Structure 1
Amino acid sequence: MRLFETRPGDDGLPGRERKLAVLALVTGTLMAVVDTTMINLALPSIAADLAIPASRAVWITNLFQVVCAAFLLVFAGISELMTRRRLYLFGLGLFVLASVGSALSTQLETLLVFRALQGLGAAATLSIGPSLYRAVFPSRLLGSALGLSALVVAGGYAAGPTLSGVILSFATWPWLFALNVPLGLSALCLAWFALPRETPRQGSFDTLGALLSIAMLASFFLAMDAVGHAAPLWQSGGWAVLAVGAGVGFVARQKRAAYPLLPLVVFNELRFSLAVSASGLAFVGQGLTFVALSFLYQQEMGFTPLETAWLFTPWPLAIMLVGPVAGRLADRINPGLLSSTGLLLLIAGLVALALVDDSTSVLNSLWRTALCGIGFGLFQPPNNREMMGSLPRERSANVSGVMSTTRTVGQSFGVALVGAAMAAGWPVQATLWLAGFTTLLALVVSVARFPLAGRAMAAQQASSASD
């Protein structure tokens, strides 16, 4: 298989070791992604079993997401001091232990504590996942590796709701958490033996920057959650003010810290900045669409939650099929061209979905969702390749943290926009048009980096030819 071939002059791991390392990364990522989607579907069952209202049960998901989002940049910085291998092992181990605690919980308060620890473990693994792919694979296969990563994440999103429904049909909700234990232990063993060992960076840790980062991201997520649930203005506004204040302090700290948590110099590379901007806007559009379609399918078209989950399936399935191909093509074709083509298809799919009404058939809805998935699958791996490949390898951990944070912030902002739009009386279809507009902005940004990406690709191909 091309991904595991070893050629003279390759960086990364040799072929056999590469297989084991990839298996560890795939297992760990699947565990975190599937867990999130499974628990979302199980919230009504958990609420009934613990005798709590739905308004409190949602914090079983929200707390996990807040903690995970708040610590992404922090763990990316910590990885330089304790190495990515050790941080990944720590994250997996913590996630497994917290899963055991969640499965054994009989009260909401105990479950929330362990869900917070699960979020912490997930942040440790997800913050450095993309950079580990770069450490494992040679540079010539970076696009293919990130395409594989997109396939794994999309597969987790596709399988999670179905797997949750199957398990809950014959077992209770604690078994959803218990499922993580054998998967996590397998990933731990593989990661222990297969992940590359590194030399830790010498120097201090930006503790103040880390605290400001946690405050900034946690407050932003809580503000977006408050907007999405139409909370009082003082509540969402208060969190937003705290997020902005912590953000200003974070930027000021990064400019003068000896070892900044996020070196702002990385944004001087225009290819990187444009790829980050395109990614953030595209994820805003995806966040908008996912929530808007939930209301469209259930409230206007009369589908059940489980039927709605099936209607979403073509999106991640299309990413699973297209993502690896797009990643492989990005190793040979201008990634900006591929990403922009994907965004065009995504816009076409969003416009088609915005035209759906209660008379639209199921099959007529499915192809529109699939078109969105094809577009996103063609966009994401080449764009991620641009982010990861535009900076030196020693910046991989920083890039990985930015990638994960951009995805989380973009999706959260999209979800909040849906809540705000519907609170203002917008019809569901209007929010889908808004998703198309944000994706159009992403396309404008993506097209702007055509020349830069083309020159970088030509330079890489010339270098490969000389080797």
Structure 2
Amino acid sequence: MQTTTPADGLPLPLRYGAIATIALGITMAVLDSAIANVALPTISRELHASPAESIWIVNAYQLAIVVSLLTLSFLGDMLGYRRIYQWGLVLFTCTSLFCALSTSLSMLTLARVLQGLGGAMLMSVNTALIRIIYPQRFLGRGMAINSLVVAVSTAAGPTVAAAILSVASWKWLFLINVPVGIIALWLALRYLPDNQQKNSQQRFDFISAVMNALSFGLMLSALSGYAQGVAMKWVILQLVLLLVIGSFFIRRQLQMPVPLFPVDLLRIPLFSLSMCTSVCSFCAQMLAMVSLPFFLQNTLGRDEVATGLLLTPWPLATMVLAPIAGRLIERFHAGLLGGIGLAVFASGLFSLALLPAAPADGDIIWRMMLCGAGFGLFQSPNNHTIISAAPANRSGGASGMLGTARLVGQTTGAALVALMFNLFSEHGTHAALLLAGAFSTAATIVSLMRIKQPLSK
């Protein structure tokens, strides 16, 4: 059993086993963020719940991840990334079985909250583990694998769900995680290394953990509530509470030697600029991925199968470019690679917004490929920079912020789609794509600003 790590990554036979357990764990955690969406109508009927109530099957999982991600990454720096990841696999696997055995909406919602905590354990330290699995000179390749897994799992969620539901009941959306989780846990026990540089200065602050959960919970609740048409007074109340609690939370973090919310890392220009590009890019991605199916089905009259096929070139192009970007980071500055990738991404988004009234499939496909290629070229170098810009003993905090940036960007993007559809009922997708292009353009500018910043070694 591997418990320690050499000075510069694992040797190749062990490295393959270690990255396999990371890939399996993150695939499960990311897929389950979206996989239940497709089955909501069926689940709500079988559990005798209203469509509005069944939304909590999705929201409970997402909320549990967002409110606990930074706390768990902090514990990873304290207790070890290997331990947090293994506990996450155990919890995620057991609660997946709990989900499948649920007989009521309240039971399934509780199971999804616990499953979200398990998913957060996996997401909070996965890139910190990659940093100690791979030699520094090959870190970009490890980040490319992680980016590839996240991108493909995010895009493939609805397709995987539809495939499972075509041959089995909704319970198998969760049961499938049990054998995969057991295999991942076996690999984790056998191959995952432990971080030798645990932070002895860190002390867990329960008050900070509660304030962190309240801050991110209120933010997610306000955005989701606005998107779902909750009364504006409640959204405003949540935003006011967020402002008050968030202000006290940040002030408390500024007084701590090792903060739970990593304000110490945000003081590093390269780190903070990379975080900004990450939030903007995932916001742009979600604006496009949520709005496009409505355009393809409601405006162009494509069916669900055709819609899925037309969306597929995006993740396929990302699959091709992500490994290439992981190798290019060994030769070129991440700011330059990210800037080029985001510029290509923005070009693809704007070209989708300018589609002709009756486009052929080919017109859509090449634009989707352009978006996926640009995103794939950007994401791996950006994730590499976020992790490598942090000191080794703060890799957990950097890993948690990386996951938080993705979730905040995706949640904001989904809420903005609702806003665009409300403001521009007949041209909602067009407005959403233009806004996505604007976010990607802003991210391009920020990424290019990083060229002046020295890369951490």
Secondary structure of 2:182's aligned partner? helix
**Shift of residue 358 of structure 1?**
4.9
Closer, same or farther: CA 243–307 of 1 in aligned 2, 3 Å: farther
> Quick check: 2:385–2:455 contact (8 Å CA) kept in 1?
no
- Distance (whole Å) between structure 1 residues aligned to residue 392 and residue 199 of structure 2: 14
Residue identity in the other structure for 1:444 = I
Which of 101, 104, 111 is the matching residue for 2:101? 104
2:246 aligned with 1:282, yes or no? no
2:3 equivalent in structure 1: none
> Quick check: 1:77–1:397 contact (8 Å CA) kept in 2?
yes
- Distance (whole Å) between structure 2 residues aligned to residue 70 and residue 311 of structure 1: 34
> Quick check: 1:301–1:357 contact (8 Å CA) kept in 2?
no
Closer, same or farther: CA 77–10 of 1 in aligned 2, 3 Å: closer
**Shift of residue 310 of structure 1?**
2.7
2:152 aligned with 1:149, yes or no? no
> Quick check: 1:158–1:317 contact (8 Å CA) kept in 2?
no
> Quick check: 1:64–1:116 contact (8 Å CA) kept in 2?
yes
Q: How many residues align?
A: 448
- Distance (whole Å) between structure 2 residues aligned to residue 285 and residue 424 of structure 1: 18
Which whole-Å deviations, capped at 9, do the CAs of 1:65-85 have from their partners, x for residues lacking one?
Answer: 111111111111111222111
Which of 46, 53, 61 is the matching residue for 2:43? 46
- Distance (whole Å) between structure 2 residues aligned to residue 415 and residue 364 of structure 1: 25
Secondary structure of 1:383's aligned partner? helix
Secondary structure of 1:128's aligned partner? helix
- Distance (whole Å) between structure 2 residues aligned to residue 186 and residue 443 of structure 1: 40
**Shift of residue 210 of structure 1?**
1.0
Which whole-Å deviations, capped at 9, do the CAs of 1:248-267 have from their partners, x for residues lacking one?
Answer: 12111101134421342212
Residue identity in the other structure for 1:442 = A
Structure 1 stretches of 5 or more lacking a match? 1-8, 461-467
Residue identity in the other structure for 2:449 = A
**Shift of residue 405 of structure 1?**
0.5
Which whole-Å deviations, capped at 9, do the CAs of 1:171-227 have from their partners, x for residues lacking one?
Answer: 111011100000001111111121112455435202111111101111111111012
1:417 equivalent in structure 2: 416
1:406 equivalent in structure 2: 405
1:365 equivalent in structure 2: 364
- Distance (whole Å) between structure 1 residues aligned to residue 169 and residue 347 of structure 2: 41
Residue identity in the other structure for 2:370 = L
1:81 equivalent in structure 2: 78
- Distance (whole Å) between structure 2 residues aligned to residue 67 and residue 123 of structure 1: 8
Residue identity in the other structure for 1:432 = L
More deviation in 88-97 or 154-163?
154-163
Residue identity in the other structure for 2:440 = T
**Shift of residue 121 of structure 1?**
0.5
Structure 2 matches for 1:176-215, cutoff 5 A? 176-198=173-195, 200-202=198-200, 203-215=202-214
Structure 2 matches for 1:258-297, cutoff 5 A? 258-297=257-296
1:464 equivalent in structure 2: none
Residue identity in the other structure for 1:302 = G
**Shift of residue 27 of structure 1?**
0.9
Which whole-Å deviations, capped at 9, do the CAs of 1:283-334 have from their partners, x for residues lacking one?
Answer: 1111211222122122222233443333222111111111011011011111
> Quick check: 1:317–1:373 contact (8 Å CA) kept in 2?
yes
2:226 equivalent in structure 1: 227
- Distance (whole Å) between structure 2 residues aligned to residue 97 and residue 10 of structure 1: 35
Secondary structure of 1:398's aligned partner? helix
Which whole-Å deviations, capped at 9, do the CAs of 1:113-144 have from their partners, x for residues lacking one?
Answer: 00111111001110111111001111101111
- Distance (whole Å) between structure 1 residues aligned to residue 455 and residue 121 of structure 2: 31
Query: Structure 2-normalised TM-score?
Result: 0.94
1:437 equivalent in structure 2: 438
> Quick check: 1:205–1:259 contact (8 Å CA) kept in 2?
no
Which whole-Å deviations, capped at 9, do the CAs of 1:262-285 have from their partners, x for residues lacking one?
Answer: 342212211111111111111111
- Distance (whole Å) between structure 1 residues aligned to residue 368 and residue 239 of structure 2: 33
- Distance (whole Å) between structure 2 residues aligned to residue 213 and residue 275 of structure 1: 22
Residue identity in the other structure for 1:193 = R
> Quick check: 1:228–1:416 contact (8 Å CA) kept in 2?
yes
**Shift of residue 357 of structure 1?**
5.2
Runs of 4 or more above 4 Å deviation: none
Residue identity in the other structure for 1:449 = R
> Quick check: 2:77–2:394 contact (8 Å CA) kept in 1?
no
> Quick check: 2:14–2:191 contact (8 Å CA) kept in 1?
yes
- Distance (whole Å) between structure 2 residues aligned to residue 231 and residue 338 of structure 1: 41
2:319 aligned with 1:320, yes or no? yes
> Quick check: 1:76–1:401 contact (8 Å CA) kept in 2?
yes
- Distance (whole Å) between structure 2 residues aligned to residue 10 and residue 85 of structure 1: 16
Query: Structure 1-normalised TM-score?
Result: 0.92
> Quick check: 1:230–1:423 contact (8 Å CA) kept in 2?
no
- Distance (whole Å) between structure 1 residues aligned to residue 357 and residue 172 of structure 2: 37
Residue identity in the other structure for 1:175 = W
2:137 aligned with 1:140, yes or no? yes
Provide the identity percentage. Answer: 37
More deviation in 65-74 or 348-357?
348-357
